[in-house]
Structure 1
Amino acid sequence: MPTPPLHMRRAGFDPVPELSALRDGGVRLVDLPQGDRVWLVTRLADVRAVLGDPRRFGNSAHHVVPGAPALSEEELALVRPGNPLAFDPPEHTRLRRLVAGEFTGRRMRALEPWVHEVVRDRLDALERAGSPADVVAGFALPVPSLVICELLGVPYADRDAFQDRYTRFFDISLPPERRLAIALESRAYLAELADRARSAPGDDLLGALVRSDLREEEVVGLVDLLLLAGHETTANMLSLGMAVLLAHPDRRAALLAAPETAVEELLRWLTVVHTGVPRVVTAEVELGGRVLEPGDLVVCSLPAANRDPDLVADPDELDLAREAGSHVAFGHGVHHCLGAPLARMEMRVAFTALLTRFPGLRVVSPELRFRDEQVVYGLEELLVAW
């Protein structure tokens, strides 16, 4: 198995010590296994400076997936349209504005009772299946998938297929041509759904998008990103979070006492997204004591930034009762995760319901197997008993 790039390396739940050492030394040049040489940014202030300034740190269109080789012009033309992560303002603003209304605080409050129903149904199914059970397959994956599929208007029955495609697409050990073929499979599937929606648009987000002035490939790209972001990140936070919560009884009590506070600290401490989309320097700039030149690639380590002592005291400690500060688990600046309010609400509801339904829940996995080759960090499975 090839060694992941430095910004993707973990030691269990923690970033590897090398990332902390880099953070103490500022911005550093590192070589990625795929051949690119990039500036790796690990300090919180520097990460915010990069992600908050799209004029000096612009979008690197050819590096849409962190840790993967650069895309060719042909590949780029196939996977870029409609993806807000592949653009900076004003094009980014145009795409984001079309779906922003689905993720407001008001919309989340209206949606929360239904999320409670989804969670309750999955817990019923988990209980019927009996102990022991895999929390990843039986709960962490289906809950966010059900929610985002309903919001978008994507058939939940197709969940296993698109989930498998996304898992393989984000596996950086696969050859780039294979990953491109997977991306095209996904787009072909969504293009078919969009065609059906045009003939009878529903009240869901897909129906709204096909009624908009977006081009067909833009509708497909936007839905593709929302479908991915809507289940992949939250599912991995749920599985990793449960493993952490069940490791110590006091953590379970802390979450039930103040779920919102605990979820923020879990987001900071776990940070399942290794990095945002790589940025490219557009003009000579000083960062972290180094001078970066136009055309240089920049990769921000979000887990390292969230363990910066400038964010919280004792950052390597998990303290579910403290305020986690302005962490960057959802990114920063114009590319801050659009679905953050939905993810927060789903985690708060899901963690609380699972721990309340099964007060004696405990981990029985012989060992935790982490998804080391994935762009979004997580667990392969988490066996629990009650």
Structure 2
Amino acid sequence: MTETLYSELPTKRSTAFDPPAELGLLRETAPISRMRFPDGHLGWLVTSYALAREVHADRRFSSRAELQHSPRRVAGEPVSRRPPAKPGMFISMDAPDHTRYRKLLTGQFTVRRMNELMPRIEQIVADHLAAMRAAGSPVDLVANFALPVPSLVICELLGVPYEERETFQQDTAKVLSLDSTFDEIMAAFERLEEFVLRLARQKHVTPGDDMLSGLIATGELTDEEVANMGLLLLIAGHETTANMLGIGTLVLLRHPEQLAALRADPSLADNAVEELMRYLSIVQFGTIRTALEDVEVGGELVRAGESVSISVAAANRDPDRFERPDEFDIRRPASGHIAFGHGVHQCLGQQLARIEMRVGFTALFREFPDLRLAVPVEEVRLRDDMAIYGVHELPVEFS
């Protein structure tokens, strides 16, 4: 049996953009290796692209909350089994429950519908860039562009009053902070649940033209189920894209030859988004699956009940899948990365995220051709203290 190599998942990045060096070394020597989880569970860590896709796609591995052991260490968390996912929290369920909830949402996230949203997304981006110019240089790109754009988009899509954004943004930050205690996380999550449940109940009485109202109109869901589904979308719909817009801008500014190529050929925008997703892999703790029966993976026997932590960051830097993986190259064929996951749990909102990033990056560098950092790069505060990586602020200046 493979030696236990880590007491928890390495998360300290080698540089601002590169995943922990230990993960790359492990991928080359033991792509599936033993890992002791923070709660004492002896499970596994997967770091190669091939094995990551294999585990994601294998129905013998479960996403059920009550079977999982988390690689994230949380101060004050009791060492006990987690309860089953609440109704509607479909990302922590297996079929048939996961299938039922996801099917109700799939029609809301079709490529066609996301493309129909593009004019509104373009308008939101244009409005925020105009406000940024009016505010004058220097300006924090995160507070003035990267965070508000996806926040407003997901609020309009779900039917969440945008004026209440500070409420859910603050509580979401508390849930995702690696410095939060277990009690702080639980309290913030409960406030988020109450916030969206109140909204769902209001829409049950006075529906609108939005996704929450659409879910209620199916007649197949309770208000609690609608609220929990909406909560997952609300958190994922603004946190991940916001951080990609922030740190993605930093990557492009730090690779001027790549940025020049993108400006010269806007048709590269789609591939640039894929490359940024692959290169950065901002979800710090990857994904977790637990074996429902004994399964052989990469020559190792994963026994029933053992959790597998899948490092998306390491898999997306696998040289067996991507040539020169540690180089940022917007011309590389970057499709096939697993930044949005893989298999039946692949991110539902990935097309929306792609459109927001494509529109956002293209418009930003078109409107501000001389955009540049306003502080030395060493002074940019990185989100290595958060479950979703990125930058806390990005001071930029322009003429």
In which range does the TM-score fall when normalised by the shorter chain?
over 0.9
Corresponding residue of 2:103: 97
Instruction: Tell me if the contact between 1:68 and 1:176 (Cα under 8 Å) persists in the aligned partners.
Output: no
SS in 2 for 1:39: strand
> 2:86 is matched with which residue: 80, 83, 88?
80
Task: Write the deviation string for residues 184-240 of structure 1: whole angstroms up to 9, x where unpaired.
Answer: 110011111111111111110111122231122211110000001111100011001
Identical residues among aligned pairs (%): 45
> 1:289 is matched with which residue: 295, 299, 311?
299
Q: 2-side partners of 1:204 and 1:74: how far apart? A: 36
* Amino acid in the other structure paired with 1:375: A
Cα deviation for residue 84 of structure 1 reads: 1.5
Instruction: Tell me if the contact between 1:281 and 1:295 (Cα under 8 Å) persists in the aligned partners.
Output: yes
SS in 1 for 2:276: helix
Corresponding residue of 1:10: 13
Q: 2-side partners of 1:116 and 1:203: how far apart? A: 20
* Amino acid in the other structure paired with 1:120: A
The equivalences for 1:285-364 within 5 A come to 285-364=295-374
Cα deviation for residue 32 of structure 1 reads: 3.6
> 1:128 is matched with which residue: 123, 134, 137?
134
> 1:197 is matched with which residue: 200, 203, 216?
203
Cα deviation for residue 274 of structure 1 reads: 2.7
Distance 1:216 1:66, change over 3 A: farther
Q: 1-side partners of 2:42 and 2:262: how far apart? A: 41
**Is 1:188 the equivalent of 2:194?**
yes
Corresponding residue of 2:3: none
Distance 1:36 1:364, change over 3 A: farther
Instruction: Tell me if the contact between 1:66 and 1:375 (Cα under 8 Å) persists in the aligned partners.
Output: no
* Amino acid in the other structure paired with 1:80: K
Task: Write the deviation string for residues 300-355 of structure 1: whole angstroms up to 9, x where unpaired.
Answer: 00010000012211100111111113110000000100000000010000000000
Task: Write the deviation string for residues 279-312 of structure 1: whole angstroms up to 9, x where unpaired.
Answer: 1111111112211111101110001000001221
SS in 2 for 1:245: helix
* TM-score, normalisation: structure 1: 0.94
Q: 2-side partners of 1:33 and 1:160: how far apart? A: 32
SS in 1 for 2:327: coil
The equivalences for 1:217-236 within 5 A come to 217-236=224-243
**Is 1:27 the equivalent of 2:37?**
no
> 1:368 is matched with which residue: 356, 375, 380?
380
Q: 2-side partners of 1:33 and 1:128: how far apart? A: 48
Cα deviation for residue 81 of structure 1 reads: 1.9
Aligned length: 382
- Please, what is the CA RMSD of the aligned residues? 2.1
Q: 2-side partners of 1:314 and 1:352: how far apart? A: 25
Cα deviation for residue 254 of structure 1 reads: 2.6
* Amino acid in the other structure paired with 1:246: L
**Is 1:278 the equivalent of 2:295?**
no
Structure 2, unmatched stretches of 5+, are 1-5
SS in 2 for 1:202: coil
SS in 2 for 1:317: coil
SS in 2 for 1:298: strand
* Amino acid in the other structure paired with 1:384: V
SS in 1 for 2:44: strand
Instruction: Tell me if the contact between 1:133 and 1:384 (Cα under 8 Å) persists in the aligned partners.
Output: yes
Q: 1-side partners of 2:18 and 2:286: how far apart? A: 18
Q: 1-side partners of 2:78 and 2:113: how far apart? A: 36
Cα deviation for residue 72 of structure 1 reads: 8.5
Distance 1:134 1:36, change over 3 A: farther
SS in 2 for 1:280: strand
Cα deviation for residue 136 of structure 1 reads: 0.8
* Amino acid in the other structure paired with 2:153: V
Instruction: Tell me if the contact between 1:39 and 1:297 (Cα under 8 Å) persists in the aligned partners.
Output: yes
Instruction: Tell me if the contact between 2:8 and 2:71 (Cα under 8 Å) persists in the aligned partners.
Output: no
* Amino acid in the other structure paired with 1:308: D
Q: 1-side partners of 2:39 and 2:81: how far apart? A: 19
Distance 1:247 1:134, change over 3 A: same
Q: 1-side partners of 2:380 and 2:207: how far apart? A: 44
Q: 1-side partners of 2:73 and 2:86: how far apart? A: 15
* Amino acid in the other structure paired with 1:48: R
Corresponding residue of 2:390: 378
Task: Write the deviation string for residues 52-85 of structure 1: whole angstroms up to 9, x where unpaired.
Answer: 112x1112413486525688999736x6321121
Q: 1-side partners of 2:65 and 2:184: how far apart? A: 20
